[in-house]
Amino acid sequence: MHAEQAGYERFWVAEHHAVPGIASGSPAVLLAAIGAATSTIRIGSGGVMLPNHQPLVVAEQFAMLQALNPGRVDLGIGRSLGFTAPVREALRQTDADTYEDDLRELLHLLTGTAAVTAHPVVEPVVPVSLLATGRGTQVAAQLGLPVVIGGPVLWGVEIGRVLAEYRRDFRPSDHAHEPHVTVSLDVTVAADDATARELALPEVWAMARSRQTGEFPPLESVAAIRSQPWNDQLRRRVEKGLDQAVAGSPTTVRAALDELEGRTGADELMASTSTHDRDALLESDRLLRDLVA
pLDDT at 173: 94
For the chain, domain boundaries: 2-131, 185-293
Neighbouring C-beta atoms of residue 111, cutoff 10 Å: 16
**H or E element at residue 143:** helix 136-143
Confidence class for position 83, pLDDT limits 50, 70, 90: low
- Measured distance CA(190)–CA(283) in Å, rounded: 8
CA gyration radius, the chain: 19
CB 15 within 8 A of CB 53: no
CATH 1.10.260.30 fits 2-131, yes or no: no
pLDDT at 276: 94
pLDDT at 125: 92
More reliable by pLDDT, 105 or 18 = 105
Confidence class for position 255, pLDDT limits 50, 70, 90: very high
Mean pLDDT over each residue of the chain, to the nearest integer: 92
Tell me the one-letter amino acid at 119: H
Burial (Cβ within 10 Å: 0-12, 13-18, ≥19) of residue 135: exposed
- Measured distance CA(120)–CA(61) in Å, rounded: 9
Please compute the mean of the pLDDT values over residues 164-183 and round it to a whole number. 95
What b/e readout covers 24-60, taking b as 16+ CB neighbours within 10 angstroms? Answer: beebbebbbebbeebeebbbbbbbbbbbbbebeebbb
SS3 44: strand
* Sequence-ordered strand ranges (E) for the chain: 10-13, 42-49, 73-78, 128-131, 147-150, 181-189, 246-248, 268-272
